[in-house]
Amino acid sequence: MLAVNVFTAIYVAVYMISRSKSSSAIVSLLFVFSDSLLSLILFQELLKPEYVTDSASAEFVRNPYYIGGIKRTLFAFLNDALPSSQIMQLESGQVIGHTERFVIYDLAIMAFMTVGGIFVFQREDLK
């Protein structure tokens, strides 16, 4: 439910900042598609196992496509913070991060978008 509210906060902020209805609609659509694509990529990269079975020797070997270290931490953060990633994790039942972080990230994004949108909207010259 909060992820849907985050999308709404983002769209409202875009509409408040933009002067043109058509450009704000295009920006919102591009955001949805890019956010969904990024979420899918992050989710698939984080699901790759660290060790795989070698087909020739049937031994466990390190997966060369496994992402570790700082890059994995960044991917996990983005995977938990993006609202479409949260929805994807909850739908699939394969929650990679911690669900209590979802609430914190959602509230932070909504607060940031609301304050940012209000700040920019107050500077607009309304006629």
Question: pTM of the prediction?
Answer: 0.79
Structural domain total, the chain: 1
From first to last of its 127 residues, the chain has per-residue pLDDT tens of 888 899 999 988 888 888 788 899 999 999 999 999 999 999 999 988 888 887 777 788 888 889 989 999 999 999 989 999 998 888 888 876 677 889 999 999 999 988 887 888 777 665 5
Q: What is the pLDDT of residue 38?
A: 94
Provide the domain limits for residue 34: 2-123
Specify whether the CB–CB gap between 6 and 110 falls below 8 A.
yes
Q: What is the pLDDT of residue 122?
A: 76
DSSP state of 56: T
Rounded-to-10 torsion of CA 59, 64, 66, 71:
150
SS3 label, residue 60: strand
Please give the Cα distance from 38 to 87 (Å, whole number): 13
